């Protein structure tokens, strides 16, 4: 290795819009301001497990302006393979943390920036503590549930897409006098559903933080009809439970569980209770895979610059965060510990109620 300072960057967990803008900002700041070399590690920690190591050097030429509007991540990512319990081909789980730490050392990295959600940040911090790695984190997730930051990269775009879906569902709902149910992502937090539901003019918004009664939902649909409107829009967050408290999940290869089916379930219950004709749209990964919104590009750029500056100041084990129109940094441990569901006393819930939106309670 040359004497030049090298920093690593990786994206981990589910992708979202704005990751490339964050990578671009780190490369610009590191190269132009500090003269460092940036090593882009491929597919999250997988790139550090491979031998030979799987990475690419990121120069200014590899992060041109076209990256700003590019969805996904040029580095690839993974949301499988916890390095402390890595699924092996023979079905066993193996602790491979030492190999990852070895990969970091082999690359001669002074520090590493991880762009991830709370799950990835927890794993990366554990690795950093074990191996003495210098870690800085950038929060990203469409779910917007990372603590101590008002916004995470990817959330704004997901809300825009879900809002646009409602805008597109409304005319067809009105044309056919239907109740349209839109199921959106969010894992355990209802931020996307609540924000998009308000922005898209929904009549009902169901989120996991607010237990619902189907009678309340049905009453709202009937009230809308009595007011002379022939259609209604319902937004359901994927982690909302069935009436008997079940989470609807499906198991995928490797034992991974993902939410699926609550939109259809709610659509059927509404049809039964109100006699309305319902149709269900499951928005799914469309919420992750598009051109980032300007807000996400700005947030990602500001985060990337600040994260690189933290390395220059040797402030490690910190996560950049958005607070009161500023980028700040907080301990990664505190951000992970402070999981952020929808605030039931917060402005968005108050706004939804004030607009007469039924939250199911
Ligand atoms: O955490 C982001 C997220 O998109 C969740 O909203 C969703 O539940 C999950 O990831 C889907 O994961 P996958 O891409 O593995 O299906």
What distance in angstroms lies between residue 132's CA and the mean position of ligand 1's atoms?
A: 30
Question: Active-site residue among 15, 143, 145, 296?
Answer: 143
Mutate to test the pocket of ligand 1, among 15, 18, 115, 143 (most ligand atoms within 8 A of CB): 143
Q: What are phi and psi of 86, to 5 degrees?
A: -80, 130
The predicted structure's pLDDT at residue 79 = 87
* C-alpha–C-alpha distance, residues 19 and 154, integer Å: 8
Alpha-carbon distances, residue 80 vs 39, 91, 238 (angstroms): 22, 14, 20
Class of domain 158-287: alpha beta
Q: Please give the average per-residue pLDDT across 145-157, as a whole number.
A: 98
Pocket around ligand 1: residues whose beta carbon is below 6 Å from it? Answer: 14, 79, 117, 141-143, 185-187, 238, 258-259, 288
- Are both 6-153+292-337 and 158-287 of the same fold? yes
Which of 191, 8, 153 has the alpha carbon at shortest distance from 71?
153
pLDDT-derived band at 1 (thresholds 50, 70, 90) equals low
Q: Work out which ligand 1 atom sits closest to the CA atom of 142.
A: 2
Provide the 8-state DSSP code for 326: E
Any idea which architecture 6-153+292-337 has in CATH?
A: 3-Layer(aba) Sandwich (3.40)
* C-alpha–C-alpha distance, residues 315 and 288, integer Å: 31
Instruction: Name the one residue in this structure whose structure tokens are 């939109």.
Output: 263
Taking only the tens place, the pLDDT of each residue in 33-82 is 999 999 999 999 999 999 999 999 999 999 987 899 999 999 999 988 79
Given a cut of 90, whether residue 94 has pLDDT beyond it is yes
Q: Residue 238, SS3?
A: coil
Evaluate if pTM is beyond 0.95. Answer: yes
Three-point CA angle 219, 224, 227, nearest 5°: 125
- Closest-CA residue, ligand 1 atom 14, reads 14
Taking only the tens place, the pLDDT of each residue in 274-300 is 999 999 999 999 999 889 999 999 999
Residue spans per domain, the chain:
6-153+292-337, 158-287
338 tagged catalytic? no
């Amino acid at each position: 290795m040359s004497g030049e300072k090298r920093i690593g960057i990786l994206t981990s967990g589910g992708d979202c819009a704005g990751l490339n803008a964050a990578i671009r900002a780190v490369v610009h700041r590191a190269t132009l301001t500090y003269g460092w070399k940036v090593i882009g590690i491929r597919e999250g920690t997988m790139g550090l497990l491979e031998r030979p190591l799987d990475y690419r050097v990121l120069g200014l030429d590899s992060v041109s302006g076209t990256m700003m509007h590019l969805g996904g991540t040029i580095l690839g990512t993974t949301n499988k393979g916890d390095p402390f319990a890595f699924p092996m081909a023979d079905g066993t789980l193996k602790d491979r943390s030492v190999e990852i730490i070895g990969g970091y050392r082999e690359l001669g990295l002074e520090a590493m920036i991880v762009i991830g959600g709370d799950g990835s940040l927890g794993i990366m911090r554990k690795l950093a503590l074990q191996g003495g790695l210098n870690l800085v984190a950038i929060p990203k997730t469409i779910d917007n549930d990372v603590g101590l930051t008002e916004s995470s990269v990817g959330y704004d775009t997901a809300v825009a897409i879900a809002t646009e879906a409602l805008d597109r569902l409304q005319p067809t709902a009105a044309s056919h006098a239907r109740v349209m149910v839109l199921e959106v992502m969010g894992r355990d937090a209802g931020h996307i559903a609540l924000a998009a539901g308000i922005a898209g003019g929904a009549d009902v918004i169901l989120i996991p933080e607010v237990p619902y009664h189907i009678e309340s939902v049905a009453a709202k649909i009937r009230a809308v009809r009595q007011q002379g409107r022939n259609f209604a829009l319902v937004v359901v967050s994927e982690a909302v439970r069935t009436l008997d408290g079940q989470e609807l999940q499906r198991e995928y290869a490797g034992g991974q569980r993902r939410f699926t089916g609550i939109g259809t379930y709610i659509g059927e219950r509404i049809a039964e209770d109100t006699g309305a004709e319902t149709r269900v749209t499951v928005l799914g990964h469309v919420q992750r895979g598009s051109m980032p919104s300007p807000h996400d590009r700005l947030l990602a750029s500001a985060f990337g610059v600040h994260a690189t500056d933290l390395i220059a100041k040797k402030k490690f084990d910190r996560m950049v965060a958005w607070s009161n129109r500023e980028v700040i940094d907080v301990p990664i441990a505190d951000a992970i510990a402070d999981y952020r569901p929808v605030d039931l006393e917060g402005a968005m819930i108050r706004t939804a109620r004030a607009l007469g939106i039924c939250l199911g309670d």
